[in-house]
């Protein structure tokens, strides 16, 4: 499968298809969470709309050939979001749906933290935060040197903005005019130790990236049309600035009783709550179809 960002505004029918993709990404993530009884589900639910647009609308990929040289690269800098990317890779047809039952198990291709050596479509092994953008800069430079027109997407958390290496890489990307680099920041305002703003305040975020020489888009990351428009704009920019999309997301999006939790960074829920979450997600999606 090859998907290419469309030149014209997305038709309502195509937007509805993207909503279906996002719904299934959320559902796959919940099913994997149920296998282990815990996980970074809040992030997966919150970022599902962005992942649907990336993998099912904007990126050039081939499901049958995950290592195709012409592919757009997607780096999961926040490796603990692996459950979210696995769900997107299942939806994109790169990983069989049946494998989600093996999530986090011994010898699975779906370990709880992303590892490039295990999983098709996983471009880097995530661990310590703040490494992805440095790798993305090198990858974008390499692709340009080879005259490969592919884009490099680096998905990262707002917590990674606390890391000095992130800003060194941001300076390097602007210095080298890496117009083939697109950064996606999940601004969910929550870290392992508490609210992001209490750990290390990062606003005004858009102004900071602008000052570092980047083209900046800031969107509601749970508004599909806004996300599509932002992806389409950054892919079509004529200049050679690196591009960043700041995505304000709601952790637990789509499952109200998870959205309302005070702490959503790592979720443990009772066994019956997983099925309750899936049932609520299904009901809300069905009601959306009728509206």
Average confidence (pLDDT) over 219-223: 97
Bridge-partner residues for 187, per DSSP?
A: 248
Q: How many residues does the chain have?
A: 291
Count of CA atoms in the C-beta half-sphere (13 A) of 177: 6
Q: Are strands 243-248 and 215-220 parallel, antiparallel or unpaired?
A: parallel
pLDDT confidence tier of residue 5, bands split at 50, 70 and 90: very low
Share of the chain above pLDDT 70, in %: 91
Average confidence (pLDDT) over 21-38: 90
Average confidence (pLDDT) over 177-189: 95
What pTM value is reported for the model? Answer: 0.90
What per-residue confidence (pLDDT) applies to 27? 96
Q: Is residue 209's pLDDT more than 60?
A: yes
pLDDT tens, residue by residue, 41-81: 888 999 999 999 999 999 999 999 999 999 999 999 988 88
Cα-based distances in Å from 3 to 53, 55, 92, 124: 10, 8, 10, 22
Q: Which domains can be identified in the chain, with CATH numbers?
A: 12-290 (3.40.50.970)
Q: Is residue 284's pLDDT more than 60?
A: yes
Q: Is residue 20's pLDDT more than 90?
A: yes
Q: Where are the beta strands (DSSP E) in the chain?
A: 38-39, 73-76, 152-157, 181-187, 190-191, 194-195, 215-220, 243-248, 267-268
What per-residue confidence (pLDDT) applies to 3? 38
Instruction: Give the residue, 239 or 98, on which the prediction is more confident.
Output: 98
What per-residue confidence (pLDDT) applies to 8? 53
């Amino acid at each position: 499968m090859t998907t290419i960002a469309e030149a014209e505004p997305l038709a309502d029918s195509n937007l509805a298809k993207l909503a279906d993709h996002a719904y299934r990404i959320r559902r796959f993530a919940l099913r994997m969470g149920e296998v282990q009884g815990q996980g970074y589900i809040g992030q997966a639910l919150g970022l599902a709309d962005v992942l649907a647009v990336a993998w099912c609308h904007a990126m050039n990929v081939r499901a049958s050939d995950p290592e195709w040289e012409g592919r757009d690269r997607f780096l999961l800098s926040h490796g603990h979001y692996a459950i979210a990317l696995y769900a997107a890779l299942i939806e994109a047809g790169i990983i069989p749906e049946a494998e989600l039952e093996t999530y986090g198990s011994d010898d699975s291709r779906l370990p709880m933290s992303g590892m490039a050596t295990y999983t098709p479509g996983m471009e880097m092994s995530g661990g310590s935060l703040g490494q992805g953008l440095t790798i993305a800069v090198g990858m974008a430079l390499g692709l340009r040197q080879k005259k490969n027109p592919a884009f490099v997407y680096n998905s990262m958390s707002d917590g990674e903005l606390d890391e000095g290496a992130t800003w060194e890489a941001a300076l390097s990307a602007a210095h080298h005019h890496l117009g083939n680099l697109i950064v996606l920041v999940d601004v969910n305002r929550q870290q392992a130790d508490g609210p992001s703003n209490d750990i290390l305040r990062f606003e005004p975020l858009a102004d900071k990236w602008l000052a570092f020489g980047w083209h900046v888009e800031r969107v509601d990351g749970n508004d599909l049309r806004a996300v599509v428009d932002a992806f389409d704009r950054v892919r079509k920019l004529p200049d050679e600035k690196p591009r960043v999309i700041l995505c304000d997301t709601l952790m637990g999006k789509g499952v109200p009783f998870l959205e309302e939790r005070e702490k959503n960074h790592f979720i443990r829920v009772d066994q019956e709550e997983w099925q309750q979450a899936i049932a609520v997600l299904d009901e809300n999606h069905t009601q959306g179809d009728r509206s």
